[in-house]
Amino acid sequence: MKISILTLFPEMFVGPFDHSIIKRAKEKGLVEIELINIRDFATDKHQMVDDSPYGGGVGMVMKVDVVHRAILHAKSSVILERSDNAAIESHKEDPISRSRSFQDDNKKTKVVLMTASGKPFKQAVAKEFAALDHLILICGHYEGIDDRIKHFIDEEVSIGDFVLTGGELATMVITDAVTRLLPGAITDGATEDESFSLGDDHPLLEYPHYTKPQVYEGFAVPEILLSGNHPKVAMWRHEQALEKTKRVRPDLTKK
| CA dist., res. 74 & res. 129, Å (int) | 17
pLDDT (0 to 100) of residue 203:
84
Task: Give the domain 2-179 fold.
Answer: Alpha/beta knot (3.40.1280)
Q: Could you name the CATH architecture of 193-253?
A: Orthogonal Bundle (1.10)
pLDDT (0 to 100) of residue 254:
76
**Domain spans, the chain:** 2-179, 193-253
Ordered per-residue pLDDT tens for the chain, 255 residues: 999 999 999 999 999 999 999 999 999 999 999 999 999 999 998 899 999 999 999 999 999 999 999 999 999 976 555 544 444 444 445 555 544 444 444 569 999 999 999 999 999 999 999 999 999 999 999 889 999 999 999 999 999 999 999 999 999 999 999 999 999 999 877 776 666 766 656 788 999 999 999 999 999 999 999 999 999 999 999 999 999 999 999 988 876
pTM: 0.84
